[in-house]
Structure 1
Amino acid sequence: MESGFGTRRRTRLFDDLLALFLAEGFSQFTLDDIAAALHCSKSTLYTLAASKDDLVRRVTVHFFKRATAAVETTLSRNDDPRERVAAYLTAVGAELAVASEVFMADLNAFPPAREVYEANTAAAATRVRQLIEEGVDAGAFRAVNASFAGDLIATMMVRIQQRDVGKATGLSDAEAYTELATLLTNGLRT
């Protein structure tokens, strides 16, 4: 069992790795480069993951766990069912806004990291469907088929994640989520 210090140190290393990757991407780095940037040894990195590929996947998981917690915290501050869908999608966009274009391109180009993003996109789409159902049940939204709305949102979220929206519109992922929130919320209102 790890000590509190060991757990804190691992978390700090993952936070430092995440900051590095968010700013500069990860594809161009070797483990030696990463160790130098973090002022640690490669053996320290090997305590986090067995390879660079595994390290990138684990850092990506760390990113999305942190982002999910932050989004849910933001959502918990809003009890108005009319505003919760927009608050959720806007918070998702805000969490993605910290990622550089190079990080997002690397994320999309590296299958293990892309799979983590895809899984989180699917979970977020499910969460939005739940929020729509809550809004419909509360009378805040017109009676819509929440499954259809959820599927529509999931499709757009996947297009955002796959960089298709950015290519078609020039919007960043964060900007696309903000636009989706505005469009969706105004379309659902009674």
Structure 2
Amino acid sequence: MPSPRRTARQADLLERLVTLFTAEGFASFTLDDVAERLRCSKTTLYQLAGSKQDLVRESVKHYFRGAAEAVEKNVAETADPADRVQVYLTAVARQLSPLSRAFLDDMAQFRPARDVYEANTRLAADRLRQLIAEGVRAGAFRDVHAAFVGEVAAATMRQIQLGEVGTRTGLTDSEAYEQLASLIVHSVTS
């Protein structure tokens, strides 16, 4: 759905830009390269953002905004508090799975993009704390300290986001989130 500030054509262009960057990364592209690959002019790209750096940041924000909406839709469709944590983290893993290693590496090296990923990781950790607390209140989880479990999860999520978990384990970000989901659900239900 186009943003109120964007035309349908601009919204489509942003979607194609996200698809390009998430598949191939962005660091090696010049604006000329992007314009050629998307079959548009640089002027058209400048209508989305004022520079390549701004285009990258807009693309990353757009990707994570859509991912967050998809994750929350999955959680909203899940009534059982015990299942919501698993559904949440599995949905996060599913949203991260199409991201190429080149894109993740480029994000890690480019501060504005990394800031967007970090902000989304913080929001995800806060949401996870909330879901754990809801599960404890509903009696679906044993009486754990939800804030502590959430903090441990948040620390792991930050390590995943920084690429450190992948480096040490060989797991992709998506696979690491799946493992985190399993670990948390088993720790709060056993």
Q: Shorter-chain TM-score category?
A: over 0.9
* Corresponding position of 1:15: 15
**% identity of equivalent residues:** 51
The one-letter code matched in structure 2 to 1:75 is V
**Distance in 1 (alpha carbons) for counterparts of 2:48 and 2:127:** 30
Distance 1:49 1:144 in 2: 46
Which 4+ stretches in 1 moved above 6 angstroms?
A: 2-5
Which residue does the alignment assign to 1:58?
58
Q: Distance in 1 between matches of 2:3 and 2:168?
A: 49
Distance 1:43 1:176 in 2: 40
Instruction: List alignment gaps of at least 5 residues for structure 1.
Output: none
Displacement after TM superposition at 1:7 (Å): 2.3
Q: Residues 6 and 130 (structure 1 numbering): CA distance in 2 closer, same or farther, change over 3 Å? A: closer
CA deviation after TM superposition for structure 1 residue 184, in Å: 0.5
TM, length-normalised to structure 2: 0.96
Q: How far does residue 8 in structure 1 lie from its aligned partner after superposition? A: 1.5
Residues 38-187 of structure 1 correspond to what in structure 2 (within 5 A)? Answer: 38-187=38-187
Query: CA deviation digits over 1:57-82, x for unaligned, max 9?
Result: 01000000000000001111111111
**Is residue 2:28 matched to residue 1:24?**
no
Return the TM-score normalized by structure 1.
0.96
- Cα displacement (A) at 1:5: 11
Letter of the aligned partner of 1:12 in structure 2? D
Give the distance between the partners of 1:128 and 1:73, measured in 2 at CA. 15
> What per-residue deviation string (whole Å, max 9, x for no partner) do you get for residues 35-71 of structure 1?
0000000000000111000110010000000000000
Over the aligned positions, Cα root-mean-square deviation in angstroms equals 1.6
Measured in 2, the distance between the counterparts of 1:132 and 1:143 equals 10
**Residues in 2 aligned to 1:3 and 1:161: alpha-carbon distance in whole angstroms:** 28
Say if 2:82 and 2:140, in contact at 8 Å, map to a contact too: yes
Q: SS state of the match for residue 79, structure 2? A: coil
Deviations 1:98-129 (A, max 9, x none): 10111111111110000000000000000000
Q: How many residues align?
A: 189
Q: Which stretches in structure 2 are left out of the alignment for 5+ residues?
A: none
Instruction: Say if 2:3 and 2:11, in contact at 8 Å, map to a contact too.
Output: no
Q: Which amino acid aligns with 2:177?
A: Y
